Each structure stands twice: as C-alpha cells, then as structure tokens.
C-alpha cells in the first residue's frame, strides 16, 4: 500500500518509527473499512439501490474505459453517444413499430418486447456512427500523434455538435419511452432483530443490472478468449509491437469503436428505460459519474471500470443518508480523491512507468 | 439609427466578455500551455472568483426581494467598503478574488498535483462541480440557485446604464494588459523557464535539483489567481451571477476551445483565441433563417472546434520554441 501524502507520512514516521507507521496505517484502514461496512448495513435500502445505479454507470463506463485505454482518448462525447442511442430507440418506438406492440409489458417490467427491437437497432446505429466519426476525425489526429488532451477537445467538439443536431431534430422537451407503470419490489429485512428496513427496488433496474453484468462478462470473454480480442489488447498495450507481429491496428481501432459505441447506445437505451424519461442532456450529465468510475477502476481497464462504477454508485447513494442528494457529484469526487491518494492508479490499475 | 446603436452596444458587450475570457485563458495557458497541468476545472476558479467578488460588494439582503443570503453585504460593510468608497474598493476586491483562488488552488494542488495527468484532470473537474454545488446548496452563502442579483457597478453614474459596457471595457482591457505583461515577464524569467522545462521533461528538472512539485504548485496557484480575477470581472460585467452560469460547458470547455484555437503555449495566442471564438459564438445569433436556430448554432460551434483541430492543430498563433 502506497500513501501518496509524503509530508504526512514523514511526520508520522519521525514520531512513531517505520513499524509504528505501518501499524497506524493498518488500524486506520481497518477502522475506515469497518465504518463503511457499518454504514452499508444500516442503510441497506440505499446500498441495494446504489448497487443498481452503479450497474447503470457500469454499462457506460466499460465502453468509455475501453476507448480510453485502447485509443488514448478520454471520449467526452461518450455521454452524447448514449443520448443518440436512446433517441434512435425513441424513433424506433415512435415510427417503426406499431404502437399496439408496445402496450403489453414483459413480466414485472415496464417495457414491452419492442425494447428488444429498438435495442439492436440503436446499438448498430451508434456503432456505425462511432466508426464514421473515428474515420473522419480521430484517425487523422492519431496519425499526427496528437496529445490525449487535444483528442479530448476534438471529442468535446463532436459532443457539442452531436447534441446540437439531436436538439435540432427532436427538440429539447422531456421524452418518454412507451411504458406500463408497475409496482416496485419491496422487501422488508430485519436487521439483527433490531430494526426493520424496507428495501424498495424498481423492477426495471434489476433488468438493467442484469444486462450490465451480461455485457461486461461478454466484453471480458471477447477480450480474453477470441483472437480479435487478444489483438485489441495487444494493440492497446504497445501499438508498434502489435504492428510488427502483423496485427492490423487500424482494424482493432475500429473494433474498439464498434464495441465502445455499441455499449454506449445500450447504456443510453437501458438508462432511459430505467429512468422512465429521456432528455437531450441525459447522457452529458452522466459523464461525471462515468469518468469517476473509469478513474476509480484504473484507466483502460474495462472490468476495473465495472468495479469503479459499483463503487461510485454505492458511495453516491449511501451518502444521501446524510447529505443533500444534489451533492452527489461532489461525493463522487471526494471518494475518488481519497481512493487515488491510497491507490494512485485506481482500484485495479497498474503503474505505466 | 436605432439599428446602428444596437450594433455598437453589441460590440461593447462582446468586447467586455471576450476580454474577460482572454484573462481566464491566459490563466489556463499558464496551467496547460506552460506547465502542462491538465486542468478541466476552470469553472472552479471562475466561480470562486466571481462569488468572492460579489460577496465582498453586495449590499445587505433586501427582505422585500426575498433575498436571504447572510454573508453578502454584512461582510462588505464590516470590512469597511463604505468608508473608502466603492471605486477604491474595486481593485481590492479583484485582489481578494485572486488571493482566495490562489489559496484554494494551493490547498487542493498540494494533495492532487502529484497525480498523473489524466487523474489530475478528473479531480479538477470534480473540484469545479463541487464548488458549483456548494454555491447551489448553501443558501446562506450566496442565495443558492437564485444567485446574487444587482451587483453594484464600479464607477456608476458616469453614463447612462445603457452604455455602461463602455465604462467597464477600459477597466477590463487595463487588467488584461497588466495580466498579459506580468505573465509574459514571468514566462521569460528563470521561474518561467523552469516551468517550461517541467512541461518538456519533469525528470530532467528534478535531476538538476529543482523541486518540480513546488514549481507546479506555484504555477497552479498563479493560473488559478488569474482565473479568479476573470471571474470577479465577469460578476461585475453581468451584474448578477447564478450557479448555473458556471456549468462545465460555458465555464470550462469553451475556454479550452479558445486556448486550442488561439494556440496553446503562448499568451498572445490565448488572447486572440478568446476574442475570435467569442466573436464566432456571439455573432452566430445573427445568422439568417434556419441557420440562426440555437440548436444548429450549437452544432456549428462543435463542428468548428473539430475543423480547427484538424486544419490548424497548433492554433492560430503557434508557439515559438526558443533554444537557450
């Protein structure tokens, strides 16, 4: 364990010695951990909802982290890719599918089978869109060896342009997917025979969480088990070496965009389903928890991003027990800064030097 | 005749805001262009400067207007703004805004500046959001989401309020010129050369015995102070501020686009970029027909950023690299 605040460390070491410092460090960590577990148990309702919210973040964060790691691009447009996917789905619901199809819902969920028509169309559209933008903008910049900051700025331009076009076409009002309202799942849990806690969960969120786990697992299997997945990881690790071994790096880059864009679209559609409403800035507003999740998990590590998203989601929800809900973004960042001080490369990140 | 007057008024308000953005952009250039610190939390210091200045000049809250902040007015009165007169109070307020921003930057920087570039960026973004949320939620500080309205004008009463921008414009330009010359001088000084060397290769700087961390921290605080001055001037130019004015889009990303457009690494480019991009943004509302649609304008601004990055990657005025 490396603590980065050297001044504090030196002061403690000079008073208590190296072994004393280790003991203090360990006991502080144990105390903080115990405090966290205590908070999680007593706020069971918020913890469960935090896990579900975190899984929504995970859907977006996995794709974002993949693009970040493979193409060295902090894609500011990722949130707007999510919005684009959701609006393509809205178009499918509104214009392609007869309205009666959307009236019968699936099981306990608010959506109908038409979601499974809209989802692949939205995913395919955004995947193609991401590839086209890459060919028009980022490929030229990559060839020129642009710095990540400049690439990020280009993606900001893409984000602004995309949002402008979406608002031009669909307007800025709140939109809704067709939905049938359903009851929440409610469980009452008896905490150590001391207190009853009601856990209320919207059914859609369970579906979204399951989808997030399945998609992350699929990404994991693809990256580790298939030839193309291994090629992508090799290209991300060292582009020149990958090229020398005969990997077509341009093609792995395109594949990264197909997966990243497709997952962004899936995230946007499922998020709009879970929320019950869709705004042109929905995706943009998710950028902050998404980047927080990517950083928490270690940049460029998709499974780390999943864990980071869960971490961010739970911390954000549980904090609402004591703080105003609108302080959530601040809580994300306080948590991230503390995490980075203890682990400078995120939960699962490795030092690149 | 009325139309002509409208154009003149528009140019006045354009120059004031562009000048303010230019000051902030010089600060960002110190951060990114010179030191290589990837700060995407400009909004933090922008907002902090604007709110510090406003709190220091606001009259006591007026219950008839449902104003319910506690700090504004009382603080200014306690500190003696009445006694020395508002025009003398004004430069002190600018200095206070700069000092508060520098202090916050120093505190936050001493914890986060050791982090690798990407990670530093995300923590600065977080700082920007946090400061905006504090001003949104803490009503006692600056009236929450309603913000502070009716911020007093410096040198009020010289001309009709209608033409006030032309009284304020020289002040902004004087501050801009001072900021430019001080920053330029600093960049050429031994301190500035260390800063540039850190951007190029931090390990080398450490090897010749300079404490790179301290230099980065000082540059972070100095740039933040400039952003704070810009924020303070912004509050005076707009006469009212709300937390919504400091959302990342207008308070951070637009300024980044200005820096890249003008050419990062030299202050003249930073200033030119601010004026050019703000000219494009503020004049695009006069486009005829469907081009004037606000959403399409947004799209055009986005495309413009992309095109500039593709066509002129080094900006309008590229940095001149000197050998010493």
Determine, for residues B137 and A4 on separate chains, whether the beta-carbon distance falls below 8 Å.
no
Q: Are residues A162 and A149 in the same domain?
A: yes
Q: What are the residues whose beta carbons fall under 8 Å from the beta carbon of A88, sequence distance 6 or more?
A: A118, A121, A122, A125, A126, A265
CATH number at residue A313: 1.10.3470
- Contact of A157 with chain B, judged by CB distance below 8 Å, is answered with yes
Pair A28, A67 in one domain: no
Residues of A in contact with B217 (CB under 8 A): none
SS3 assignment for B182-201: HHHHHHHCHHHHHHHHHHHC
Q: A329: which chain B residues are within 8 Å (Cβ-Cβ)?
A: 126, 129-130, 133
Per-residue model confidence (pLDDT) at position B1 = 56
Mean pLDDT of A21-37: 82
Within-domain flag for A353? no
Collect all residues of chain A within an 8 Å Cβ-Cβ radius of residue B306. Answer: 137, 154, 157-158, 161
Predicted confidence at residue B71, as pLDDT, reads: 66
3-state helix, strand, coil in chain A (%, to 5): 75, 5, 20
Mean pLDDT in residue range B67-90: 68
Q: What is the distance between the alpha carbons of residues A247 and A239, in angstroms, rounded to a whole number? A: 9
Q: Is residue A2 part of a domain?
A: yes
Burial profile B164-177: b = 16 or more Cβ within 10 angstroms, e = fewer:
bbbbbbebbeebbe
A329/B306 Cβ within 8 A: no
The distance of A138 to chain B (nearest Cα, Å) reads 9
Smallest Cβ distance to A299: which of B118, B130, B260? B118
Digit-coded pLDDT (tens) for B187-235: 889 999 999 998 888 888 888 888 888 999 999 999 999 999 999 999 9
Q: A203 and A141 in one domain? A: yes
| Rounded Cα gap, residues B10 and B192, in angstroms | 38
- B241 forms beta bridges with B148
| Tokens 């997952």 sit on residue | A263
Q: Say if A224 falls within a structural domain.
A: yes
The residue among A2 and A75 whose pLDDT is bigger is: A75
Tell whether A78 and A17 lie within a shared domain. no
What residues of A are in contact with residue B211 (Cβ under 8 Å)?
Answer: none
On whether residue A351 sits in a domain, the answer given is no
Q: What is the helix (H) or strand (E) element at residue A198, kind and residue range?
A: strand A195-201
A181/A253 same-domain check: yes
Is B21 within the bounds of a domain? yes
| Percent of chain A with pLDDT strictly greater than 70 | 95
CB distance B225 to B44 below 8 Å = no
Domains: count for chain B:
1
Cβ within 8 Å, pair A330-B305: no
pLDDT of residue B215: 93
Average pLDDT for B10-35: 92
Question: What was the pLDDT predicted at B42?
Answer: 92
Instruction: Examine residue B20 and state whether it is found in any structural domain, yes or no.
Output: yes
Kindly write down the DSSP assignment for every residue of A178-195, as one continuous string.
-----PPEEEEEEETTTE
Q: Which two tokens stand for residue B153?
A: 């004008």
How far is B47 from B53, CA to CA, in rounded Å? Answer: 10
Are A138 and A156 in contact by the 8 Å Cβ rule? The answer is no
- Spell out the residues 6+ positions from residue B126 whose beta carbon is closer than 8 angstroms to its own: A288, A292, A329, A330, A332, A333, A334, A336, A337, B41
Whether residue B295 and residue A172 make contact (CB cut-off 8 A), yes or no, is: yes
Q: Does residue A74 contact residue A80 with C-beta atoms inside 8 Å?
A: no
In chain A, the percentage of residues whose pLDDT exceeds 90 is: 17
Question: Within 10 Å of residue B153's Cβ, how many Cβ atoms?
Answer: 18
Whether A158 sits inside 8 A of B306 (CB atoms) is yes
Count of A–B CB contacts within 8 Å? 141
Residues 64-83, chain A: which have Cβ within 8 Å of B? 74, 76
- The residue segments making up the domain with residue B178 are 2-311
- Taking the C-alpha atoms of residue B166 and residue B158, their distance in angstroms, rounded to an integer, is 10
Give how far Cα B126 sits from Cα of B111, B112, B302, Å.
Answer: 14, 11, 23
Asked whether residue A267 is domain-assigned, the answer is: yes
B25: nearest Cα among B262, B271, B240: B271
Question: Which residues of A are less than 8 Å from B301 in CB distance?
Answer: 160-161, 164
Quick check: A165 contacting B, CB < 8 Å? yes
Length of chain A: 353
d(CA B251, CA B48): 12
Closest CA to A342 of A302, A296, A308: A296
CA distance B46 to A216: 39
Tokens representing A211? 């989808």
- The shortest C-alpha distance from B305 to chain A (Å) reads 5
Helix (H) or strand (E) holding B163: none
Domains identified in chain A, total number: 2
Q: How far is B309 from chain A (nearest CA, A)?
A: 7
Whether the per-residue pLDDT at B280 is higher than 70: the answer is yes
Tell me: do A124 and A35 sit in the same domain.
Answer: no
More confident residue, B153 or B20: B20
Of A154, A162, A340, nearest to B309 by CB-CB distance is A154
User: Do A28 and A64 have their domain in common?
Assistant: no
Interface of B with A (CB under 8 A): 32, 38, 111-112, 114-119, 121-123, 125-127, 129-130, 133-134, 136-137, 249, 253, 256-257, 260, 293, 295-306, 309-310, 313
The C-alpha of A18 sits at a distance from chain B's nearest C-alpha, in angstroms, of 22
Q: Clarify whether residues A151 and A171 are in a common domain.
A: yes
Read off the pLDDT band of B72 (50, 70, 90).
low
Cα separation, A270 vs A177, in Å, equals: 11
Q: How many Cβ atoms sit within 10 Å of the Cβ of residue A117?
A: 17
Beta bridge partners of A198: A188
Q: Which domain holds residue A2?
A: 1-42
Inter-chain contact B118–A295, Cβ cutoff 8 Å?
yes
Cβ distance of B125 and A163 shorter than 8 Å: no
Q: Is residue B151 part of a domain?
A: yes
- How long is chain B? 324
Q: How many CB atoms lie within 10 A of CB A217?
A: 12
Query: What residues 308-327 of chain A have any CB closer than 8 A to a CB of chain B?
Result: 324, 326-327
**8-state DSSP, A196:** E
Contact status, residue A336 vs residue A295, Cβ threshold 8 Å:
yes
pLDDT band at A33 (very low <50, low <70, confident <90, very high): confident
The answer to whether residues A78 and A204 belong to one domain is yes
How far is C-alpha A67 from the geometric centre of its chain's CA atoms? 12
**A163 C-beta neighbours (distance < 10 Å), count:** 25
The CATH number of the domain holding residue B208 is: 1.10.3470
- List the single range of A64-73, A162-171, A181-190, A207-216 with lowest mean pLDDT: A181-190
Is A3 touching B (CB cutoff 8 A)?
Answer: no
A124 has pLDDT over 70: yes
Determine what percent of chain B is predicted with pLDDT higher than 90: 29
- Residues A149, B133: C-beta atoms closer than 8 Å: no
What is the rounded distance in angstroms from the CA atom of residue A146 to the CA atom of residue A19?
Answer: 47
Residue B20 above 90 pLDDT?
yes
Distance CA B156, CA B167 (A): 9
- DSSP labels for A54-80? HHHHHHHHHHHHHHHHHH----TTHHH
Q: How much of chain B, in percent, has pLDDT values that exceed 70? A: 90
Query: Dihedral of the CA atoms A90, A325, A288, A49 (nearest 10)?
Result: -70
B316 in any annotated domain:
no
Please name which of B141, B168, B169 lies closest in space to residue B155, comparing C-alpha atoms: B168
Least confident of A39-43, A105-109, A229-233: A105-109
A350, part of any domain: no
Cβ-defined contact of B305 to A144 (cutoff 8 Å): no
- Other C-beta atoms within 10 Å of B144: how many? 16
Chain B touched by A93 (CB under 8 Å): no
* Whether residues A30 and A103 fall in one domain: no
Report, as an integer, the average pLDDT of A312-334: 85
* Residue B324 resides in a domain: no
A34 and A136 housed in the same domain: no
When mean pLDDT is compared across A239-253, A335-349, B272-286, the lowest value belongs to A335-349
Find the closest chain B residue to A324 by CA distance: B137
Burial B198-218 (b: 16+ CB within 10 A, else e): bbeebeebeeeeeebbebbbb
Residue found by looking up tokens 């959701």 in the block: A86
CA–CA gap between residue A231 and residue A311 (Å, rounded): 30
Is A282 in the same domain as A311?
Answer: yes
């Amino acid at each position: 364990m490396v603590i980065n605040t050297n001044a504090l460390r030196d002061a403690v070491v000079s008073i208590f010695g190296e072994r004393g410092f280790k003991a203090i460090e360990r006991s502080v960590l144990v105390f903080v951990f115990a405090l966290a577990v205590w908070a999680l148990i007593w706020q069971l309702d918020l913890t469960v909802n935090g896990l579900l919210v975190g899984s929504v973040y995970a859907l977006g964060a996995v794709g974002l982290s993949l693009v970040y790691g493979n193409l060295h691009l902090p894609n500011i447009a990722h949130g707007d890719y999510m919005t684009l996917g959701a609006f393509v789905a809205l178009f499918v619901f509104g214009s392609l599918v007869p309205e009666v199809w959307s009236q019968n819902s699936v099981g306990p969920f608010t959506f109908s089978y038409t979601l499974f028509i809209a989802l692949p169309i939205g995913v395919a559209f955004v995947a193609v869109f991401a590839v086209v933008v890459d060919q028009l903008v980022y490929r030229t910049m990559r060839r020129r060896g642009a710095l990540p900051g400049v690439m990020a700025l280009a993606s900001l331009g893409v984000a602004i342009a995309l949002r402008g076009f979406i608002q031009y076409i669909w307007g800025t009002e709140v939109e809704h997917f067709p939905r049938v309202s359903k009851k929440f799942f409610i469980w009452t849990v008896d905490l150590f025979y001391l207190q009853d806690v009601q856990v209320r969960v919207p059914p859609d969120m369970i579906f979204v969480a399951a989808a997030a786990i399945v998609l992350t697992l699929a990404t994991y299997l693809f990256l580790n088990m298939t030839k193309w997945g291994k090629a992508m990881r090799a290209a991300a690790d060292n582009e020149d070496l990958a090229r020398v071994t005969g990997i077509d790096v341009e093609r792995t880059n395109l594949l990264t965009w197909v997966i990243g864009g497709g997952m962004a679209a899936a995230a946007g559609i499922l998020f709009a389903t879970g929320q019950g409403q869709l705004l042109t800035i929905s995706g943009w507003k998710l950028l902050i928890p998404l980047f927080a999740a990517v950083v928490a998990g270690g940049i460029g590590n998709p499974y780390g991003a999943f864990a980071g998203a869960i971490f961010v989601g739970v911390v954000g929800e549980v904090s609402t027990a004591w703080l105003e809900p609108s302080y959530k973004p601040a809580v994300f960042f306080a948590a991230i800064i503390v995490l980075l001080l203890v682990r400078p490369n995120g939960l699962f990140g490795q030092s690149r030097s | 005749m009325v139309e002509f007057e409208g154009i003149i008024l528009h140019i006045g308000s354009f120059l004031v805001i562009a000048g303010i953005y230019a000051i902030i952009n010089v600060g960002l250039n110190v951060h990114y262009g010179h030191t290589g610190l990837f700060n995407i939390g400009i909004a933090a210091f922008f907002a902090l400067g604007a709110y510090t200045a406003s709190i220091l000049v606001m009259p006591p809250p007026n219950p008839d207007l449902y104003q319910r902040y506690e700090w504004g007015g009382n603080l200014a009165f306690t500190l003696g703004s009445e006694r020395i007169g508002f025009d003398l109070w004004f430069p002190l307020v600018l200095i206070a805004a700069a000092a508060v921003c520098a202090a916050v930057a120093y505190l936050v920087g001493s914890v986060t500046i050791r982090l690798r570039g990407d990670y530093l960026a995300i923590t600065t973004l977080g700082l920007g959001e946090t400061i905006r949320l504090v001003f949104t939620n803490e009503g006692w500080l600056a009236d929450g989401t309603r913000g502070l309205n009716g911020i007093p004008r410096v040198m009020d009463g010289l001309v009709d309020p209608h033409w006030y921008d032309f009284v304020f414009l020289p002040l902004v330009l004087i501050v801009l010129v001072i900021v430019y010359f001080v920053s330029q001088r600093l960049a050429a000084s031994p301190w500035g050369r260390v800063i540039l060397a850190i951007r190029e290769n931090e390990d080398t700087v450490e090897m010749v015995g300079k404490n790179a961390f301290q230099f980065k921290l000082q540059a972070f605080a100095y740039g933040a102070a400039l952003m704070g001055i810009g924020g303070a001037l912004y509050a005076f130019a707009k006469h009212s501020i709300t937390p919504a004015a400091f959302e990342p889009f207008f308070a951070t990303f637009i300024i980044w686009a200005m820096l890249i457009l003008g050419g990062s690494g030299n202050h003249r480019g930073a200033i030119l970029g601010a004026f050019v991009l703000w000219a494009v943004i503020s004049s695009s509302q006069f486009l005829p027909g469907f081009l004037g649609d606000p959403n399409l304008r947004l799209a055009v601004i986005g495309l413009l950023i992309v095109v500039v990055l593709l066509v002129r990657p080094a900006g309008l005025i590229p940095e001149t690299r000197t050998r010493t």
